[in-house]
């Protein structure tokens, strides 16, 4: 089966050429304890049978400096596309977006509003100051990865997508739904987002591990999400090396959890959706 990894991170060994500048000043533990450079990522992809991957900027290592993902994309154009982190609040955010995507080298951009080093969910991604950014993203047809946690900021996401219905957003880790607590409840909460036709979901180990743990109850989450989003709006990503498993193990985890999903849908989740979101993979 064709497999595209839509969410992997690379960390360079060369601190002089690629100095660390994490957003918030705090670097992720995984970036220090188990970094993987671009060469290592190619080797791991070969081991796992993954043809291509999306290099997502390691925001908690490099902040807004996208040099390493861009340089790695240029070195392996047949294997990688690059997604960089940008600041939608800067006064020239629209012009900056236009300069960094397309000929600027980035296939997409990412907004990091919450994560292991940013425990409080930021709501700035929907602030009025970001409207020029979102308008330009709509105009350019660029995929925007949004790292956020569903909950208090969910209504901001709804408001944003109502204002910019044609912008294409890929929700990292499906917004961290609480699958462990109530698989069906989490599935229904995610399914409610499907009213926005250009919102896509990124399915990663952060979701798949919880689905594996709940066993047969996993269908309570997967069924409503697949019913309303459809496989063509869901893309798999490994999250290596933030994920502690090996890349072959992460692929096996996804195959196990999705074993009962029709093969045609699995093909979309593992590659088809990714190739539509990032035409540079074709």
At residue 71, φ and ψ (nearest 5 deg) are -65, -40
Of 17 and 282, the structure prediction assigns the larger pLDDT to: 17
Q: How many domains does the chain have?
A: 1
Which tens digits make up the pLDDT trace of 104-122? 999 999 998 876 555 656 7
Domain that holds residue 57: 4-281
CA distance 249 to 6: 16
Residue 152 banded pLDDT, cuts 50, 70, 90: confident
pTM value? 0.95
168 closest CA partner among 273, 36, 27? 273
Looking at residue 139, which CATH number applies to its domain? 3.20.20.140
Of 118 and 134, the structure prediction assigns the larger pLDDT to: 134
206 closest CA partner among 147, 278, 264? 147
Which tens digits make up the pLDDT trace of 266-278? 999 999 999 999 9
CA distance 7 to 172: 9
């Amino acid at each position: 089966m064709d497999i595209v990894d839509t969410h992997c991170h690379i960390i360079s060994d060369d601190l002089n050429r690629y100095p660390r500048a994490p957003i918030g000043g705090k670097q992720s533990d995984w970036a220090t304890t188990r970094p993987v450079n671009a060469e290592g990522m190619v080797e791991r992809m070969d081991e796992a049978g993954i043809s291509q991957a999306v290099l997502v900027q390691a925001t908690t290592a490099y902040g807004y400096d996208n040099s390493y993902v861009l340089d790695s994309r240029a070195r392996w154009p047949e294997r990688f596309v690059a997604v960089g982190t940008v600041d939608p609040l800067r006064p020239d955010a629209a012009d900056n977006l236009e300069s960094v995507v397309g000929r600027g080298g980035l296939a997409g951009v990412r907004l990091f509003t919450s994560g292991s080093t940013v425990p409080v969910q930021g709501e700035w991604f929907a602030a009025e100051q970001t409207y020029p950014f979102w308008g330009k993203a709509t105009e350019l047809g660029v995929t925007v990865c949004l790292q956020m946690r569903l909950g208090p900021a969910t209504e901001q996401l709804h408001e944003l997508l109502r204002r910019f219905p044609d912008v294409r957003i890929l929700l990292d880790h499906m917004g961290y739904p609480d699958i462990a607590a109530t698989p069906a409840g989490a599935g229904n909460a995610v399914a409610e987002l499907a009213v926005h036709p250009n919102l896509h979901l990124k399915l990663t180990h952060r979701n798949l591990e919880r689905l594996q743990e709940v066993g047969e109850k996993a269908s309570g989450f997967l069924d409503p999400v697949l019913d309303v989003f459809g496989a063509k709006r869901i893309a798999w990503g490994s999250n290596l090396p933030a994920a502690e498993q090996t890349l072959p193990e992460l692929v096996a985890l996804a195959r196990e959890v999705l074993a009962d999903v029709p093969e045609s849908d699995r093909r979309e989740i593992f590659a088809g959706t990714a190739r539509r979101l990032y035409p540079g993979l074709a």
